Amino acid sequence: MRLVVFGLGGMGREAADLARRSEAVKGRFSKVVFAADWGEGPIDGLEVVRPDAIGEGDEICLALGSGAERMRLVERFTGRQFATLIATTAIVSPSARIGAGALLCDYSVVNNGAVIGDHFQANLFAQVSHDCRIGDFVTLAPRVSCNGWVEIGSGVMIGAGAVIRNGTAQRPLRIGEGARIGMGAIVVADVAAGSTVVAPPAMLKEGA
């Protein structure tokens, strides 16, 4: 049985590196390969196969940063097995629950009582704190800090370095389905479904 990393971009190559370091992967899979509709291998010493060469016994790691793209691939590969890949440096509380097909990169954290849906992706140093509820196909870019008692709808994308203020048990902070949070944003109130929240960009002053 092979671990098939779907995607040849930066996320795919990072996921393959993560997999090759993982003792759990080494103990379970006979081989790690890439899969894509385009591109030739080897890449970083790994074979590149076409999607029609993915066997029934293989497990697929969807290593694409876009939740929408991951959703399309799940529909495309209906009935196939999707691997959950967790870096050896990641921290996951024993009381947390994570759905199928998750990718947790190095130094990411999922804390006590968090419940996370399918095909979740947490990049480097991303944190999900206690008692959060997160839907399917959610993406946390590097160094996202999601504090406790936050509810995040499916398909949400949160950019690098964004901070989500904590809610409470009685009143969680809510980010609606399909919302986009820009990098560096500080979210202190609910975000409506489908909306976009951005932080002011840093600008170079004239004469500086």
Q: How far is CA 81 from CA 30, 31, 195, in A?
A: 16, 16, 32
Spatial distance between the Cα atoms of 28 and 23, rounded to a whole number of angstroms: 9
Spatial distance between the Cα atoms of 120 and 62, rounded to a whole number of angstroms: 10
The token pair at 163 is: 């901070």
**Residue numbers annotated as active site:** 130
In contact, 137 and 118? CB cutoff 8 Å: yes
Q: Is the peptide bond before 200 cis (omega within 30 degrees of 0)?
A: no
